[in-house]
Amino acid sequence: MIAPSFLLRCVRMAARALALLPLALAAASAERPNIVLIVADDHGPEAIGAYGNRVVRTPHLDALAADGTRFTHAFCTSASCSPSRSVLLTGQQNHRNGMYGLQHQDHHFSSLDTVKSLPVRLGQAGYRTARIGKFHVGPEAVYAFDTVLSGGAANDPDSLGRSPVAMAEQTRPVLESKDPRPFFLFFASDDPHRANAVLPNGKPTFDTYPAPNRFGNRDAGYPGVTEVVFRPEDVIVPPWLPDTPICRAEIAEYYRAIARLDQGVGRLVALLKETGHYERTLIVYLSDNGPAFPGAKTTLYDPGIRLPLIVRAPGRTRPGSVQEAMVTWADVTPTLLEVAGVLGSVGRDELDGRSFRAALDGAPVPDRDEIYASHSLHEITMYYPMRAVRTRRYKLIHNIASGLVFPSALDLVQSPTWVGLMRSGGTVFGRRPVAQFLRRPPFELYDLETDPDEIVNLADSPAHRAVRDQLIAKVRAFQETTRDPWRHKWNYE
């Protein structure tokens, strides 16, 4: 029999060893910065001061850009919330990690149990990990964080994700912790996503026509937020949206939600400074996909996938720089793993993206002149797989389910902007004929230099046959490399 005193000694020794662990990890990670990944919901770059919009009010994002690097050619790979976040947090395309569509309700997509996510990898590398706000990926075990400061369902009107200043305040336990390990904070707002209104019969709806969707704005405001109200006549209507009164009214609401979100970012940065973390924290601001308007979100057109990316890296030497390297959200996980010093331990074939750490400080980097995108579904009923390659000059989209009418997300097809146009008999949405938006050929090829709005399809132009075939070959190779289940369609249909 083992003496109780011996057992007691063993327990004490173990406890002492455990107590030393954080110090050992801290020593090992002395040079590793904290990482704050801020993910906005449906925020396009066209509505940020630093990206040239002089009407919207984003002083804190503008300050972050002035103190860091603003990317001009950053892209999500799927303009749908859950798929895009799954790519961000795994470094794998949605068609590889299993998150083919939305995670919530009856859409019910989830990543494969075998996937190893960014928070899990960072946790194993000695980071403490925490998330707050919108999540929208699953299963929980694959995307495990040490600490869930708050969760919240998708499109939940009571979500904390609509109250970004309160969110920032609730990160204090992470920021004020005495734990010497670096932290990874995933900070994701519900703003500026569209919000459901509740009908008199209790059912939710996005269709409030002729009133605009409120994008989460409410008369009572939100804690710590100074409401910034915009006049429809002042907003900037981008070329891909119709310049109608209802669309202007909706953009005004969208701006207001962005101004709120901006204040949350400002509060979070202030707290990082207050707690002495700012100079040793990598801050990333980006959006999961483009704005929640038809023509952007759920498409692979630039308004859907070309997004804000603002990075403020510790020890930067080029504050306020503009980075033109082409990067995607598939590259974010490898980049952050390199920042954390553990990219080398990850098998190259486990990641579809590649690190752009060298680009974080704004210095020009070579070999960043094309990106790939992959959309599969959004809602379960919205099957419309597309694969695309975009160079600086061209974009080629392969519409795998070309025979279908393009299926519009409920929040977009019910949006007052769309409903208004349909009721008035409009046949052009922005600069794109509605018929062309709804019925797409198997291949679309655009010359972005002469046609930045992607209206003139050159796929059948004899003069562009060579570039088309070259880009199709690239898309096929991308599908092979990333083990796309849809690659079989090339052989069997």
> Catalytic residue numbers?
81
Query: Please, which of residues 451-490 interact with a second copy by CB under 8 A?
Result: 485-486, 488-489
Residue 492 is a binding residue for a second copy (CB under 8 A): yes
Contact present, 114 and 139 (Cβ < 8 Å)? no
Q: How far apart are CA 347 and CA 345, in angstroms?
A: 7
- Those residues whose C-beta lies under 8 Å from the C-beta of residue 271, and which sit 6 or more positions away, are 168, 169, 171, 172, 175
Q: Which of 365, 380, 419, 467 binds a second copy (CB under 8 A)?
A: 380
Under the binding rule (CB under 8 A), the answer on residue 407 touching a second copy is: yes
Residue 108 lies near a second copy (rule: CB under 8 A): yes
Tell me the window of 42-50, 144-152, 156-164, 400-408 that interacts with a second copy (CB under 8 A): 400-408
Q: Does 401 bind a second copy (CB under 8 A)?
A: yes
What minimum distance in Å lies between the beta carbon of 399 and a second copy? 11
Nearest to 81 by CA among 3, 228, 192, 174: 192
Site pattern 277..316 for a second copy (x: CB under 8 A): ----------------------------------------
Binding to a second copy (CB under 8 A) within 47-106 occurs at 98, 100, 106
Closest CA to 134 of 190, 84, 79: 190
Among 21, 270, 322, 405, binds a second copy (CB under 8 A): 405
- Minimum CB distance to a second copy smaller for 474 or for 489: 489
Buried b (16+ CB within 10 A) or exposed e, 181-214: bbbbbbbbbbbbbbbbeeeeeeeeebbbbeebbb
DSSP state of 416: H
278: left (phi over 0), alpha (psi -120 to 50) or beta: alpha
14 binds a second copy (CB under 8 A): no
Q: For the chain, how far is it from start to end, CA to CA, in angstroms?
A: 71
Tokens representing residue 96 in the block: 């590889």
User: Counting contacts by CB under 8 A, is residue 403 touching a second copy?
Assistant: yes
Strand pairing report for 183-188 and 428-429? unpaired
- Tokens, residue 414: 């019910």
Does residue 423 belong to the site contacting a second copy (CB under 8 A)? no
Nearer CB in complex with a second copy: 324/350: 350
Q: Give the number of other CB atoms < 10 A from CB of residue 314.
A: 16
Given the complex with a second copy, which of 139 and 232 has the nearer CB atom?
A: 139
For residue 379, state whether it binds a second copy (rule: CB under 8 A): yes
Give the binding site for a second copy (CB under 8 A): 98, 100, 106-108, 110, 112, 379-381, 383, 385, 401, 403-405, 407-408, 410, 413, 485-486, 488-489, 492-493
